[in-house]
Structure 1
Amino acid sequence: MDSACLLNSQRLSCHIMDPDLFKASPKRAQVPPPVKPNRSKTEQIKPELAQVVNDTKTGRSYCKGKLLGKGGFARCYEMTDLANNKMYAVKVIPQSRVSKPHQREKITNEIELHKTLHHKHVVKFSHHFEDQDNIYIFLELCSRKSLAHIWKARHTLTDPEVRYYLRQIISGLKYLHNKGILHRDLKLGVCGTCNEF
Structure 2
Amino acid sequence: MVRNREETAAAAKKGMWLGKYELGRTLGEGNFGKVKFARDTVSGDSFAIKIIDKSRIAHLNVSFQIKREIRTLKLLKHPNIVRLYEVLASKTKIYMVLECITGGELFDRIVSKGKLPETEGRKMFQQLIDGISYCHSKGVFHRDLKLENVLLDTKGNIKITDFGLSALPQHFRDDGLLHTTCGSPNYVAPEVLANRGYDGAASDIWSCGVILYVILTGCLPFDDRNLAVLYQKICKGDPPIPKWLSPGARTMIKRMLDPNPVKRITITGIKSSEWFQHAYTPSNYDDDDEDVHIDDEDFSIQEVGFEEGKGPDSPTVINAFQLIGMSSFLDLSGFFEKEDVSERKVRFTSDSCGKDLLEKIERTVEEMGYRVQKKHGKLKVTEERGQTVEGGGLSVTAEVMEISASLNVVELRKVHGDSSLYRQLYERVVDEVGTHANSKALAKAS
| TM score, norm. by length of structure 2 | 0.29
- Within a 5 Å distance, the mapping from 1:142-157 to structure 2 comes to 142-157=101-116
Pick the aligned partner of 1:63 from 23, 37, 46. Answer: 23
Pick the aligned partner of 2:80 from 108, 113, 121. Answer: 121
The Cα offsets for residues 28-66 of structure 1, whole Å up to 9 and x where unpaired, read as: xxxxxxxxxxxxxxxxxxxxxx942423xxxx1321323
Aligned residues: 142
On the 8 A contact 1:95/1:135 being kept in 2, the answer is: yes
The match for 2:52 is 93
The Cα offsets for residues 108-147 of structure 1, whole Å up to 9 and x where unpaired, read as: 3321321121112111111010112311111111242321
The 2-side partners of 1:95 and 1:157 are apart by 40
On the 8 A contact 2:32/2:57 being kept in 1, the answer is: no
The 1-side partners of 2:107 and 2:46 are apart by 21
Residues 142 and 172 of structure 1: CA distance in aligned 2, closer, same or farther (over 3 Å): same
The Cα offsets for residues 146-194 of structure 1, whole Å up to 9 and x where unpaired, read as: 2123223212211111101111111111111222222133222221222
SS state at 2:26 partner: strand
- Within a 5 Å distance, the mapping from 1:157-168 to structure 2 comes to 157-168=116-127
On the 8 A contact 2:47/2:98 being kept in 1, the answer is: yes
On the 8 A contact 1:121/1:169 being kept in 2, the answer is: yes
Aligned amino acid, residue 120 of structure 1: P
- What's the offset of the Cα at 1:103? 4.1
The 2-side partners of 1:174 and 1:74 are apart by 30
Residues 143 and 190 of structure 1: CA distance in aligned 2, closer, same or farther (over 3 Å): same
SS state at 1:119 partner: coil
The 2-side partners of 1:122 and 1:168 are apart by 10
The 1-side partners of 2:46 and 2:63 are apart by 26
Pick the aligned partner of 1:131 from 86, 90, 93. Answer: 90
The match for 1:112 is 71
On the 8 A contact 2:75/2:138 being kept in 1, the answer is: no
On the 8 A contact 1:53/1:64 being kept in 2, the answer is: no
Query: Which structure is higher in strand share?
Result: 1
The match for 1:22 is none
On the 8 A contact 1:93/1:134 being kept in 2, the answer is: yes
The 2-side partners of 1:146 and 1:192 are apart by 4
Pick the aligned partner of 2:138 from 176, 179, 182. Answer: 179
The 2-side partners of 1:147 and 1:88 are apart by 20
Pick the aligned partner of 1:78 from 37, 43, 46. Answer: 37
Larger Rg: 2
The 2-side partners of 1:184 and 1:75 are apart by 23
Matched, 1:54 2:18: yes
Uncovered stretches (5+) of structure 2, i.e. residues with no partner? 1-9, 157-446
Task: Give the % identical residues.
Answer: 26
Residues 150 and 69 of structure 1: CA distance in aligned 2, closer, same or farther (over 3 Å): farther
SS state at 1:192 partner: strand
The 2-side partners of 1:105 and 1:145 are apart by 26
Query: Which structure is higher in helix share?
Result: 2
